[in-house]
Amino acid sequence: MPLTIGDVTILVVRDGAEAHDALADAVAAALGLPAGGLRVIHRCSRCGSTDHGVPALTHRGRPLPLAVSVSRADGVALAAFGAVAGLGVDVEVAGAAADPALERVLRHAVEAPYPGADARTRAWVRKEAALKAWGCGLHLEPATVHDRGGAAVAPGLPAATLHDLELDGYQAALAVIPAPGASC
């Protein structure tokens, strides 16, 4: 069953089901379009590759005015879409960021040290969701992102609203940029 937060719908896809197919089917149903005509595409703003980069939806080759995001972890995937300027989802197995050395690449200078693997993993999914919403991915160091609780901020980028997502055995987050602004 999909989860809705504001203008964003999040699908939880389990057991190896294809997240792109689930996303296309859900958007088709929401918009009253035939599912067969929808396609998830990717385009990297850095190198132009279509094998990775920011995802987008097309219908019969034309872009749809929706932001989309997909994330995968062992045994689960999240797929999200919404009529917002930008969005990002990220999911990891609970406690996946066990290595304390991750603090160097993850923790912003004004953030307190993370007290353990769960806190580091929570910080990771929140920051990666924001980086996806901005269209940066990991081209921008996670440590440049300041997690202020309800929002993530980074120099020159609009604030991204953060939402923790409840998912047994996983830590997940949604980041939303409601209005157009700068991007990576």
Residue 41 gets the label, from left (phi > 0), alpha (psi -120 to 50) or beta, of: beta
User: pLDDT value at position 116?
Assistant: 95
Domain ranges of the chain: 3-177
Question: What SS3 class is residue 82?
Answer: strand
* Cα Dmax for the chain: 49
| Number of residues that make up the chain | 184
The rounded distance, in Å, linking the Cα atoms of 66 and 83 is 5
What global pTM score does this model have?
0.93
Statement: 3-177 belongs to CATH 3.90.470.20? yes
The encoded tokens of residue 37 equal 């005509």
Residue type for 52, please? H
Question: Which pair of structure tokens corresponds to residue 77?
Answer: 């995937």
**Series of mean pLDDT values for 10-residue runs along the chain (184 residues):** 92 84 90 86 84 88 93 94 96 95 95 95 97 91 96 96 96 94 78
